[in-house]
Amino acid sequence: MFRWLEGRLDPFAPFDENETPPNTVGRFIWHYLRPVRFWLAVLFFVALAAGLFESFLYILLGWLVDILARSAPDRIWAEHGTTLMVMAALVVFVRPVLSFAHEVVSNQVIIPQSTNMVRWRTHVYTLGHAVSYFQADFAGRLANRVMQGGGAIRSIAVALIDTLLYVAIYAMTALGVFSSVSPWLALPMGLWILGYGVLLRYFVPRAKERSLQVADTRSALVGRVVDSYTNILTVKLFARADEERSAVREAVRANTDAFLRSLRLNSVVSGILSVMNSLLLAATGILSVLLWKQGAMTSGEAAAGLALVMRVLAMSGWVMHEVRDVFENIGTVQESMQTIARPHGLVDRPHAPRLTVARGEIRFEGVSFHYGRDEGVIEGLDLTIRAGEKVGLVGTSGAGKTTITSLLLRLHDVEEGRILIDGQDIARVSQDSLRSSVAVVTQDTSLLHRSIRDNIAYGRPGAADGEILEAARLAHAHDFIMGLEDHRGRRGYDAHVGERGVKLSGGQRQRIAIARVILKNAPILVLDEATSALDSEVEAAIQESLSTLMRSKTVLAIAHRLSTIAALDRLIVLEKGRIVEEGTHAQLLRAGGIYARLWQRQSGGFLGAGEREEATEAVSF
């Protein structure tokens, strides 16, 4: 039975991954609750039945008191035995069934699955954002909003169904019982319900605002802490532990102030509610005594009424705290909504076809890109890289080299012009098919906190172990991998590398990244400072592997060490996003321009004018 119930909701059910969530709280919550609306309705009716039955028990209590008051002890079973048996059967059988039904619908069907369904869907949608989205925020804060948003949305739904429904049932039952006896007896309960509504009307919007501040400062705190941990090496190397503690201390102080401000409101409202509850209990008690004295109500009705009132009062404080939690969760949802419910910056066109790479020709036609500014970076770039050609990009920092590779991978959309691969506009094909056709090794290599095997196989999921080992050997990584062991005793290819690969040296991470690209074996290869973290001996060995890898592929390479790209078919020299020189290494040296000056500085230090001319004439390939 449990397995059947637990299988009613699939957290991973298909959905439109590109649909932008609504940007208002109610619609945002419903957007994620809509797939579970049937089971929420089931929970509502089960809770309604359970609440009505629980309140009916107080009426049964009143009947029992009256029966006991009117009957002689030796005649009670003969006169009322059937009634007492029915009461006992209701309590023994119906109440547990309703309670159990409520618990299994809530616990086995709704709470875990709906919580993680929301987390899964917000995570998948967040993954669809452009790289710039992640670069503009703390990773910890984004993760916090995804994780907390799921729990908050589910808590709001369950609390509204359970808590408010229960107190409404009890209050209405008490009002009905009192009204059937005397309008005067119903008056205190009616006034209390009115006052409770006014108190909620005052409390809710203020709690909503303050809860949002608490949620926002909590996420900022988490972001600060995670940022310190993620960059712990930088913190240690620069001896900035005090500054990090100070930054986190300020975030803790801001969260504490917001928390106290929220709880101050709760304390005031709880005090007012306590006074209202005491007045209701006293008024109901006095009126019950007076009406019983006048014969207008039985002792059983008085007992049942007072018991209902005490139950309502006991629940009122709980409900107020639940309402506070609901609006604290609404604050969390608001925060998640503000972060998550943004349109994707880069989207595939409807029914975008897959990119088909037969030859690997790349053309930049009138491409301009300024990162949203008026000018700068890339201006009117026209560049054709023939199929199978190996091209190097050269230029000082900020010349636009890495931006060109980012545009080729469609990490950003061009602002003017277009980029074609084998005649296909990359803006019109699916992003996944584009990126699966391009293998990239960047200068900032980060690995996933998984095993070495998983990190290499990331280039081609499903690759056989033999293929993974061969890629590692070609990248000159196999020998050091076999000597690895992590803190849990996992060795070799099973050893985990730590967050972003921190347990490996820069050169080891770079070789794992190169092995990953070798395994991917894509027709287009982008090398962005691919050997920047390697020593000269290992670099020379890997250059042989890269030469093998580059055969029959179109290659776009960036390197500040010009010796690593001097042998390529063509070199493109960039300055302020424009092509200022192009040709082979030898041709550019003879031209005596920017490339020649860069080469002289790297190969022979800073030379005088005459020495530069002699050095230029001496270089030959």
For the chain, the straight-line distance linking the first and the last C-alpha, in angstroms and rounded, comes to: 78
* pLDDT band (50, 70, 90) for residue 615: very low
Cβ neighbours, 10 Å, residue 483: 9
Task: Quote the CA–CA distance of 386 and 53 in Å, as a whole number.
Answer: 79
Mean pLDDT of the chain: 82
Burial of 72 (0-12, 13-18, 19+ CB in 10 A): exposed
Tokens representing residue 96 in the block: 């547990």
- The secondary structure of 399-420 as a DSSP string is SSHHHHHHHHTTSS--SEEEEE
Task: Quote the CA–CA distance of 40 and 9 in Å, as a whole number.
Answer: 12
- The percentage of residues in the chain with a pLDDT greater than 70, rounded to a whole number, is 92
Residue 343 has pLDDT above 50, yes or no: yes
* pLDDT band (50, 70, 90) for residue 5: confident
Q: What is the pLDDT of residues 318-327, one digit of tens each?
A: 776 777 677 7
Cβ neighbours, 10 Å, residue 302: 22
Residue type, 406: S
577 Rama sector, left if φ>0, alpha if ψ -120 to 50, beta otherwise? left
Edge-first strand listing for the sheet containing 378-385 = 378-385, 362-369, 416-421, 424-425
Mean pLDDT of the 512-530 span = 86
Cβ neighbours, 10 Å, residue 43: 22
Task: Quote the CA–CA distance of 533 and 530 in Å, as a whole number.
Answer: 8
Residue 81 has pLDDT above 60, yes or no: yes
Residue 279 has pLDDT above 50, yes or no: yes
Question: For position 561, what pLDDT does the model report?
Answer: 74
Question: For position 530, what pLDDT does the model report?
Answer: 66
537's enclosing H/E stretch is helix 536-550
Q: Which of 152-156, 190-194, 328-332, 568-572 is predicted with the least confidence, judged by mean pLDDT?
A: 328-332
Q: What is the pLDDT of residues 375-418, one digit of tens each?
A: 767 888 999 999 999 999 988 777 888 889 889 999 888 989 99
Q: What is the pLDDT of residues 134-191, one digit of tens each?
A: 877 777 778 878 888 888 898 888 888 877 777 777 777 777 777 776 787 778 878 8
Q: Which residue has the tokens 């509504």?
A: 197
Q: What's the whole-model pTM score?
A: 0.69
Q: Tell me whether strands 570-575 and 390-394 are parallel, antiparallel or unpaired.
A: parallel
Tokens representing residue 175 in the block: 């009002």
Tokens representing residue 454 in the block: 């998983």
Q: What is the pLDDT of residues 12-61, one digit of tens each?
A: 999 888 888 998 888 999 999 999 999 999 988 888 888 788 777 767 77
Question: For position 120, what pLDDT does the model report?
Answer: 92
Residue 273 has pLDDT above 50, yes or no: yes
Question: For position 538, what pLDDT does the model report?
Answer: 63
Question: For position 385, what pLDDT does the model report?
Answer: 93
* pLDDT band (50, 70, 90) for residue 610: very low
Query: Residues in the chain, how many?
Result: 621
Mean pLDDT of the 453-478 span = 89
Are residues 380 and 578 in contact, defined by beta-carbon separation less than 8 angstroms? Answer: yes
Q: Tell me whether strands 416-421 and 362-369 are parallel, antiparallel or unpaired.
A: antiparallel
Q: What is the pLDDT of residues 83-120, one digit of tens each?
A: 778 888 888 888 889 889 888 888 888 888 999 999 99
Question: For position 356, what pLDDT does the model report?
Answer: 92
